[in-house]
Amino acid sequence: MMAMLQAGLDCAVAPVESVGLDGDMLEAQAFAYLAVRVARGMATSGPGTTGVRALVGGGEISRP
């Protein structure tokens, strides 16, 4: 993915670890944030973030 970004962008692409951040921690936090939004019935994407036309959800919680 990093190579694809580098090929498609006109700027340097570097992993977050290069600036002292923990990429695994950031990924876990992002998924936790999205999970909370789904649990609360909130949108996980919208026109201002991904360009979709309307707010969209990230799925649903399935309980046994």
Please report whether residue 15 resides in a domain.
no
In a domain, 7, yes or no: no
Burial readout 51-62 (b: 16 or more C-beta within 10 A, e: otherwise):
eeeeeeeeeeee
Q: Write down the pLDDT at residue 43.
A: 93
Q: Count up the domains in the chain and report the number.
A: 1
Question: For position 61, what pLDDT does the model report?
Answer: 87
- How many Å apart are CA 32 and CA 20, to the nearest integer? 21
Please determine, for residue 7, whether its predicted confidence score (pLDDT) is greater than 90.
yes
Query: 44 falls in which pLDDT band (50, 70, 90)?
Result: very high
Q: Among 27, 30, 29, which Cα is nearest to 45's?
A: 30
pLDDT at 63: 87
* Residue 30 within a domain: yes
Does the residue 1 lie in any domain? no
At 43, list the tokens: 């949108």
Average pLDDT along the chain: 93
Residue 14 domain-assigned (yes or no): no
| Range(s) of the domain holding residue 53 | 20-64
Stated pTM of the model? 0.72
- pLDDT score of 58 more than 90: no
